[in-house]
Amino acid sequence: MNENITELLDEEICQELHLMSGLQFGSEEKEAAIDDLVALYKLRIEEEKIAASNEEMKLKAEMDEKRLVQENEAQIVTDEINRKRFADEKLSWKIRIGIDAASLILPLIFYAYWMRVGLKFEETGTFTSTTFRGLFNRFRPTK
């Protein structure tokens, strides 16, 4: 539609120019034709401004849409990285808890076993074995 208006304005401007060429210089008719021509040119310039403004708005909208798409893609990538990081931290936390628990429980199990073995050996109620007495002094269930 905009192209039709522009074409019509161009045709009117051409007609005014042809009409003006036949008029006598300084006559009122020529002055009126010049005024009409100036008005038509102003309309043509306004149409060009509107078309340029529309084109600029379209380009801006396209750029905004591309920017939003890129931001969404970047956010998706960031979210995926954060999910992986959280999963890694969670696994690291579980491993650390397991190691801490094992460092406490394994010595206790070891000490309990050797105490049972030593006490079975020492059923008399007194500590007569120097080996068990030496082990008993070294048992430390805490860090």
Q: Are 56 and 48 in contact (CB under 8 A)?
A: no
Measure the N-to-C terminal CA separation of the chain; round to a whole number of Å.
87
Q: What are 5-44's pLDDT values in tens digits?
A: 778 778 877 877 777 777 677 778 777 877 887 888 888 8
Check residue 133 and give its pLDDT.
60
pLDDT at position 130 over 80: no
Residue 104 Cα distances to 10, 81, 93, 98, 113, angstroms: 93, 35, 17, 10, 15
The residue ranking higher by pLDDT, 1 or 106, is: 106
DSSP letter, residue 23 = S
Q: Is the pLDDT of residue 132 over 80?
A: no
More confident residue, 92 or 5: 92
CA 82 to chain centre: 12
Instruction: Tell me if the pTM is above 0.85.
Output: no
Phi, psi angles (nearest 5°) of residue 48? -65, -40
CA gap 119, 111 in Å, rounded? 12
Q: What local confidence, expressed as pLDDT, does residue 3 receive?
A: 65
Q: In the 8-state DSSP scheme, what is residue 128?
A: -
- Between residues 103 and 30, the one the model is more confident about: 103
Q: At residue 129, does pLDDT exceed 70?
A: no
Alpha-carbon radius of gyration of the chain: 48
Per-residue model confidence (pLDDT) at position 96:
95
